[in-house]
Amino acid sequence: MINEYDEIKNLLKKSKLLFEQPEATNIARSIENRLSDKYGNNTSTTKTSEEDDVVKKEKSKSYRISGGLLTIHSTEKKELELTKEEKSSFQETMDEFVAEVSDLSDFGVLNMYENDVQWSGKIVDMDIEFFFSIGEKNGVYINGDMIKLDEKLTELMGKLTSFYEKFKAKWAKVISLRKKTKQKKI
């Protein structure tokens, strides 16, 4: 029998697949539906065929920046270009994380959407995976097996939470600048 902990753990594993599989939209809908069914949210995840067409036409472009990977997602091809400011923000984000949280980190892809930024990675020495999201489901999420509860973990959680606030402020600004630029072009 699967308990709530196991179910949440399975959902987190599936969320990681969002970054690795082309059918990410279907996985996301599956997760939303399961959460909606389990916790009684009345939000509908049913999409019209027009909305499905928009999802299918989403494009992405990835950029390698100092060993990290930033992927921009958009339905507009012209919105896939990376600016110098965005590149600089990504480099600063990685550098600041190493300086403020952990110098033994493996970073995942930073995914930038029109209204959301998601970034994940692993803190190697603690064997903890982290996930940052701003937008609709903003917050800091962690995943790990058999994590020892001690002062080192407590300190790390404080660092992650503190860093998330800087991350959120920086990338919210990037998203708002993208929106302003988009409005000027129209």
Q: What is the mean pLDDT of residues 80-95?
A: 95
The CA-based angle 112-118-119, given to 5 degrees, is: 110
185 class by beta-carbon count within 10 Å (0-12 exposed, 13-18 middle, 19+ buried): exposed
- Given pLDDT bands bounded at 50, 70 and 90, which one contains residue 4? confident
| pTM of the model as a whole | 0.67
126 Rama sector, left if φ>0, alpha if ψ -120 to 50, beta otherwise: alpha
Q: Count CB neighbours of 98 within 10 A.
A: 13
107 touches 118 (CB < 8 A): no
- Return mean pLDDT, the chain: 82
| 54-63, 77-86, 133-142, 153-162: range with lowest mean pLDDT | 54-63
Domain boundaries, given as residue ranges, for the chain: 1-57, 59-186
Q: What is the mean pLDDT of residues 81-95?
A: 95
